[in-house]
Chains A and B, each alone.
Chain A
Amino acid sequence: MELLGLYHYWVFAILLMTGFYAVVAKLNLFKKLIGLSLFQAAVFLLYITMSKVDGGTAPIFSGAADAVFSNPLPQVLILTAIVVGISTTALGLGIVVRIKEEYGSIEEDEIQEIDRR
């Protein structure tokens, strides 16, 4: 039961590895970027999940002395990390478009073949 209780970490690990697999194994540059986004999203979940306190609410001071708050800081951090992730994906997609313009393909092996010629 101990292992199942930590299910959110399992989600993190499985998502991380799924993304990583796509980055490593797929030859299509677009699919690689999808994998990369998954990979980053997994880490966002790691941060979000660690900030949750059982029974905790949003950290807004209500006057109640026994109120339990979740930690807001990781969410703020992840907001920044999401922005970074979006910029990376956007730049990556931009590069894929340029590659398509120059090489006429977005398959890694075909591009290598063209360069070797």
Chain B
Amino acid sequence: MSGLGQHLPALQVVVPILVAPMVVLLRPRGLAWAASTAASVLAFVIAIELTLQVLGAGPVGYLMGSWPAPYGIELRVDALSALLLLVVTGASTVALVGGRQSLDAQIEADRQPYFFAAWLLALAGLSGILVAADAFNIFVFMEISSLASYVLIAGGPDRRALPSVFKYLIMGTIGATFYLIGVGLIYMMTGTLNLADMELRIHAVGDLTPILAAAGFITVGLALKAAIFPLHVWLPNAYTYAPHMATAFLAACSTKVSLYVLLRFDFFVFQGNLEGHDLQFAIYLMPLAVLGILVGSAVAMFERNIKRLLAFSSVAQIGYMMLGASLVSIAGLTAGILHIFNHALAKGTLFLAVASFAMVAAGLRLNELSGIARRMPWTFGAFVVAGLSLIGIPGTAGFVSKWYLIMAVMELGPAGVPLVAVILISSLMAVVYIWRIVEVACFAKTEEQGSSAIAVSPLMIVVTWLAALANIYFGLAPALPLTLSGDAAAELLRHLP
């Protein structure tokens, strides 16, 4: 590795954020797409290299401008951030490489450079949250990524995206402002913004009431951003009316990055300092997780628009991740973090396939998708594989994380039995809603409606299948995400006896 190798944590953010303004200037058709795809691929390569470094030698630290840590700005990539960096950059790359045709169909040519600039800013913001090691930079990157994703969601041709994105903007800003209040209260008591330093200095704080209030503000604010039930109301409409490729990108990673910050604060900063914090965290969040799982799956069963259906399924899946975290045990947290990765694989693939359907079918309501399996068998095959992964069929990635989640719940003893029941019932509901789509797509009578001469580009099919095969690969050989999430859980819970 040359001298550039040690700057990777910074380059992870710098590459997309520098390419973003350049993309705006690239007027000739296709150039903006090519440049942003190249930047995204480069970011993905950097993330892979960082993951290898983390696996080899532990967390990678980086001091901006070589100023020492609590005074200067520190970047830090550990197992948890490496795993999420893979998810974020991977989702962006896959959606961009495969999504050109779909994006060309949905975004007018003269607006494309702006759209891609917003895309890269979202990518930079999300990566920035993951590499930043201090609370205020996390806030700034959070707002960069949020503002850019509002633009992405509103960028499509569907006018219903506008009221949805307005709602998202209001709720997202309230969430971020709550987070800012929390950080302010901590700064008031400790005088530091660096997370590691913060954790140490809270020990010395006499009156912990402001810290407790800060924990409340930060947890609620981030729960809003992460769409944890019942704060998920912005999510279904935003995902439904966004351009299909933007949905594939954001659904795979944006809420999970907020979840990452939540875990980082609650476990890394507060866990060792607030008495009974683990208990409070479990008592408040476990019921919400369970409700989220049940309500999200139940609504998905009756939803008629396929994108809304998958969006509600996302609400349920976020519930699984929270359930794992709210067990506050190494096994539970490992399962929750593993599910972040596996759900991104499954949901990303599903939304990629949906984007292909949208180009051929008349619309995305279930009855408009009738017979789609016969018209595009390859894409539908990939959809089914990812659907099986979402349900948690053995041999797919989804099974691995659900298995670990059930094992973690069983550690509770008899108290865990109802939770196992919840996981099983929700998986059955997932069978129902995926089956509804399969049934319509394979067995319903095809009405030849309108011209469907458009063929989906082979590149799109290849990318969708690559994503689907990743679901199977990580179902059979889950070593990489499992090691990373195990390390991450151990690191987050190091205060626990």
Interface residues of A (CB under 8 A from B): 20, 23, 29, 32, 36, 39-40, 43, 46-47, 50, 74, 77, 80-81, 84, 87-88, 91-92, 95-96, 98-99, 102-103, 108, 111-112, 115
Contacts and interface: CB of A to CB of B under 8 A. Distances in A.
Contact of A98 (B136, B140, B154, B170): B154
14 contacts: A23-B174, A32-B170, A36-B174, A39-B173, A43-B180, A81-B139, A84-B140, A88-B169, A91-B169, A92-B166, A102-B162, A103-B159, A112-B163, A115-B160
B165 interface: yes
Nearest to B167: A108
B150 interface: yes
Contacts of A108: 163
Contacts of B166: 29, 92, 95-96, 99
A2 to B, nearest CB: 14
B147 interface: yes
Contacts of B281: none
A6 to B, nearest CB: 13
B180 A81 contact: yes
A46 B173 contact: no
Nearest to A102: B159
Contacts of B22: none
A114 B104 CA distance: 29
A99 B162 contact: yes
B208 interface: no
Contacts of A96: 166
A40 B165 contact: no
B199 interface: no
Contact of A43 (B143, B163, B181, B187): B181
A36 B170 contact: yes
A50 B154 contact: no
Contact of B184 (A47, A84, A87): A47
Contacts of A99: 162-163, 166
Interface residues of B, number: 25
Nearest to B178: A43
A95 B154 contact: yes
A115 B159 CA distance: 10
Nearest to A12: B181
A29 B170 CA distance: 10
Contacts of B163: 99, 103, 108, 111-112, 115
B181 A80 contact: no
Contacts of A98: 154, 162
Contact of B181 (A46, A88, A103, A112): A46
B143 A84 contact: yes
Contacts of B174: 20, 23, 36, 39
A50 B162 contact: no
Given A23-B174, A88-B143, A95 B169 contact: yes
B184 A91 contact: no
A82 to B, nearest CB: 12
B177 A91 contact: no
A111 B237 CA distance: 14
B136 A95 contact: no
Given A36-B170, A95-B169, A43 B177 contact: yes
B389 to A, nearest CB: 33
A20 B165 CA distance: 19
A92 B169 contact: yes
A77 B147 contact: no
Given A88-B143, A95-B154, A111-B163, A50 B188 contact: yes
A113 B64 CA distance: 52
Nearest to B151: A91
Contacts of B160: 115
B234 to A, nearest CB: 13
Nearest to B148: A91
Given A36-B173, A98-B154, A99-B166, 19 more contacts: A23-B174, A29-B166, A32-B170, A40-B177, A46-B181, A47-B184, A47-B187, A50-B184, A50-B188, A74-B184, A81-B180, A84-B139, A84-B143, A88-B143, A91-B147, A95-B154, A95-B165, A95-B166, A98-B162
Nearest to A77: B136
Contacts of A39: 173-174, 177
Nearest to B135: A77
User: Which of A20, A95, A108, A112 has the most chain B CB atoms closer than 10 A to its own CB?
Assistant: A95
Contacts of B139: 81, 84
B365 to A, nearest CB: 15
Contacts of B143: 84, 87-88
A43 B173 contact: no
Contacts of B136: 77, 80
Contacts of B162: 95, 98-99, 102-103
Contact of A80 (B140, B165, B169, B184): B140
